[in-house]
Amino acid sequence: MSHTLGYAAKTAKSPLAPFSFSRRQPGPHDVAIDIKYCGICHSDIHQARDEWGGSIFPMVPGHEIAGVVKSVGSAVKKYKVGDQVGVGCMVDSCRKCSCCVEGLEQYCDQGSTVTYNGLERDGKTPTYGGYSNHIVVDENFVLKIPANLPLDKSSPLLCAGITLYSPLRHWNCGPGKKVAIVGLGGLGHMGVKLASAMGAEVTVLSQTLKKKDDGFRMGAKHFYATSDATTFNKLQKSFDLIINTVSADLDLTAYLSLLKIDSQMVLVGVPEKSMPIHPFPLIMGRRSLAGSLIGGIKETQEMLDFCGKHNITSDIETISIDKVNEAYERILRSDVRYRFVIDMASLR
């Protein structure tokens, strides 16, 4: 076992604090990674505070991990010492069910092994995430980060990036398509960059216009305030695809009316409470309401390669790990543009 330093939530009520624990020694197929940076996802807060239920404590959050390979097992073929790599939301799956065979490990029939707040395939060993200085992961769940992308700005790609890339690809975002991104936050700003790079005409739907300049800089062609009552009248039947990135209660019925006939709204944000919808906008436009969960390993690598080709990274604010609790509170106030990233040098 190898000694590892990190930050953990000891209970749902306690702030994150220094925590020492052991990682397994690398096996034949494992890659040992020195973690350089880890992004902070809003789901880290939900889970560290047990807002979704079932949290396992102590918990070391973090699934937007970027680092450098320190050592590899004897059978590893994909990576070598010094490679620039990432680890996202999963570190294993059953690898045998139809979803896993199709490269959709995120939908594994037996449940994928999540990077933190989960259990290894043995059903008893807890997983600890990227708010730490070191991690050991099977090579099949390690991603190659393109050499031209900086590690700090790339770490949010491992969750925020793939969370937006996967539905954009699945629902055929591209030239000639009009795509709306609801919310310009940690997820939404990645959606704007990716959809724009795919060739779509991108509109941002944000509560106010205060981030308008940022939206245009990232590739949006249009920007509307949803707090303006005229917005929903102006944009009736405008979009081929809407990606809703926010985790707040919205009037989904109103947003569905902005879709063209035979178009989709996809949810990637998870609000605390259920949201009602009226069936009329679905029925009257043969529209669809769907959801999407990250992407499989193959698609995540595809996303990273796409970002490398188009030089796409996240807009970040870098912090030392002792500022993580303050960062959590700022995220809840939407006081970050657009993703916090922890510099793990502060743990060394």
pLDDT, tens digit, 9 for 90 and up, residues 261-292: 999 999 998 877 788 889 999 999 999 999 99
Q: Note the pLDDT of residue 270.
A: 82
Instruction: Reply yes or no on whether the pLDDT at 246 is more than 80.
Output: yes
Per-residue pLDDT band at 346 (split at 50, 70, 90) = confident
The H-or-E segment that residue 309 falls in is helix 297-310
**In the chain, what are the domain boundaries?**
2-158+315-347, 161-291
Per-residue pLDDT band at 255 (split at 50, 70, 90) = very high
Please give the Cα distance from 50 to 68 (Å, whole number). 31
- Mean predicted lDDT score pLDDT of the chain: 96
Find the mean pLDDT for residues 112-139.
Answer: 96
Distances (CA, A) of 300 to 133, 330, 335: 23, 28, 28
Instruction: Reply yes or no on whether the pLDDT at 320 is more than 80.
Output: yes
CB 4 within 8 A of CB 32: no
Q: Which CATH number fits domain 2-158+315-347: 3.90.180.10, 3.10.129.10, 3.90.580.10, 3.40.50.620?
A: 3.90.180.10
Per-residue pLDDT band at 249 (split at 50, 70, 90) = confident
- Between 272 and 215, the more confident residue is 215
Cis, bond preceding 58 (omega within 30 deg of 0): yes
Global pTM reads 0.95
Please give the Cα distance from 87 to 129 (Å, whole number). 10
Q: Which amino acid type is present at position 13?
A: K
Q: Note the pLDDT of residue 58.
A: 97
For domain 161-291, give the CATH superfamily.
NAD(P)-binding Rossmann-like Domain (3.40.50.720)
Please give the Cα distance from 328 to 318 (Å, whole number). 13
For the range 93-102, what are the long-range contacts, defined as Cβ-Cβ under 8 Å and sequence gap of 24 or more? 94/121, 95/140, 102/296
Q: Note the pLDDT of residue 248.
A: 82
What is the DSSP pairing of strand 339-343 with strand 30-39?
antiparallel
For residues 204, 311, 323, 45, the Cα torsion angle rounded to the nearest 10 degrees is 50
Cis, bond preceding 37 (omega within 30 deg of 0): no
pLDDT digits (tens, 9 = 90+) for 327-340: 999 999 989 999 99
Q: Note the pLDDT of residue 1.
A: 66
Q: Note the pLDDT of residue 229.
A: 87
Given strand 259-267, what is the order of strands in its sheet? 222-225, 201-206, 178-182, 239-244, 259-267, 288-291
Please give the Cα distance from 263 to 265 (Å, whole number). 7
